[in-house]
Chains A and B, each alone.
Chain A
Amino acid sequence: MSSPIEQALVELARHIDWPEPSDQASLSRRLEGSPRSRTKHRWIPVTALILVLVASLLLFSPTAREAVADLLGVAGIEIRFDPDPAEVVGGELDLGEAVTLEEAAEGVDFELSVPGNLGPPDGIFLSDRPSSGRVTMVWESAEALPASGDTGVGVAYSQFALELGEEADFVKSVMPDTSVRAVEVDTAIGLWIEGAPHLISYEDATGNRVEEETRLAGNVLMWESDGVTHRLETTVGLGPTLALADSLQPVD
């Protein structure tokens, strides 16, 4: 049973000045003039890249071996080695604008989560990368969660809508001494990236390529759930990081 306001909106729809589609003849011409095979060519480099990635992983990172099969099953995620991360990102990273929890919740298109066992975050930041918004919460170091060298931060937790284009990729660039393995987070397949600093680059739905690096020079657990990508960066091992992930609960 819909409310009066819902009924009014449905009624309103019939009175909107919508654009009318023109004839479809030009679409026919464009489709006839663009054989399907073009797409295949476009995918050759991507396929080749994946093969190189797999080979590289098998060569350099034994721990990744078990993960490769699972990894390729994670939608849109690719792994590649990057020659020199410093060249790709450069400059210092900003987490965005410092905001309150309410402002953060207003600023993104999804329901925020927060770890249940860390207490309120010591800092909350909102950034427009990707364009759909990202919230990063940070916690200062605690006994069980030591800070990384110079940041004073023990945990950085980012959430953002995985708003990938249809052909977008999600690339993890790792150094040879970084290990990557697939892990199960809740019921989702996630990635655990441990070791040397690494880069993340991906394309958002507006075609914008975003690149970022590790913030704490720590380890990263990343997974996607219900269209939201979670990125939990700590200086501790997989076990305590997974425990943090398991403790996530919706804000309010």
Chain B
Amino acid sequence: MEGRPLNEQDLIQNAKSGDVAAFEALVQTHRHIALRVAFLVVGDRTEAEDVTQEAFVKAYHAMSRFRLDSSFRPWLLRIVRNEALNQRRRRGRQERLSLRLATDPVSGGAAPSPETTVITGVERRTILEAVNGLPDRFREVVTHRYLLGLSEAETAATLRIPVGTVKSRTARALGRLEHSLSGLSGGGRDE
């Protein structure tokens, strides 16, 4: 297996036939986003980590049912989210997740991007509070689309809702955010 690195399709093929190393390589690239999907549901870091790992084990066993013509990331994320929902249900508590800003917001001394110069920390906090305050079905779509950076199709597949619902709910959620942030000045809002 020297030479060119295996691409995702190769890894999927190998993982489908039970190759543990291939499966690990396959999920390696999706670890961060998978953990975030779980975190958005359970709201606890350790729990999210456990859930993600449990979901990966389930995904490994379900690989034989993965269809080669579908895309892997949303398939995996759906399993992760499902496992997270199961965990939240088993635990019984239905705490509402509040996302927080990192204390060291900009990573490793990088030069601030153009956006960071127009959005201040205070505004960022206000926006995050507005997101946290959205009704679940709107918040889910917004967090998956914009905070996790999933496409509409991936969001739909992960949340198990139709793409049309993702579109309409995104539009309504953005409308609500606009409304609740209408008092916010600056931030390039008058572009």
Q: Which residues of A contact B (CB under 8 A)?
A: 3-22, 24, 26-28, 30-32, 34, 36, 38-39, 106, 109-111, 131-132, 161-163, 165-167, 205-208, 226-228
Contacts and interface: CB of A to CB of B under 8 A. Distances in A.
Contact of A109 (B56, B82, B103, B161): B161
Contact of A111 (B49, B82, B168, B189): B168
A11 B24 contact: no
Given A15-B105, A166-B79, A205-B82, A31 B188 contact: no
B127 interface: yes
Given A8-B187, A206-B89, A226-B164, 14 more contacts: A5-B189, A10-B149, A11-B116, A15-B102, A15-B105, A15-B106, A21-B32, A27-B56, A31-B23, A39-B64, A110-B161, A205-B85, A206-B86, A227-B162
B24 A27 contact: yes
B160 A161 contact: yes
B35 interface: yes
Contacts of B56: 27, 31
- The main secondary structure of chain B at its interface with chain A is helix
Interface residues of B, number: 72
Lowest 8 CB-CB distances: which A-B pairs, in order?
A9-B146, A226-B162, A19-B45, A17-B102, A11-B115, A206-B89, A39-B61, A13-B147
Interface in B44-95: 45, 48-49, 52-53, 56-58, 60-62, 64-65, 78-79, 82, 85-86, 88-90
Nearest to A40: B64
Interface of B: 18, 20, 23-24, 27-28, 31-32, 35-36, 39, 45, 48-49, 52-53, 56-58, 60-62, 64-65, 78-79, 82, 85-86, 88-90, 99-103, 105-107, 113, 115-116, 119, 123-124, 127-128, 131, 135, 137, 142, 146-149, 156, 159-162, 164-165, 168, 174, 177-178, 181, 187-189, 191
Contacts, number: 161
Given A34-B57, A109-B165, A24 B146 contact: no
B108 to A, nearest CB: 12
B161 A206 contact: no
A246 B82 CA distance: 32
Nearest to A15: B105
A206 B83 CA distance: 8
A14 B32 CA distance: 13
Contacts of B187: 4, 8
Given A110-B161, A206-B85, A226-B164, A31 B147 contact: no
A171 B49 CA distance: 33
A166 B82 contact: yes
Nearest to A206: B89
A24 B18 contact: no
Nearest to A35: B18
Contacts of B168: 111
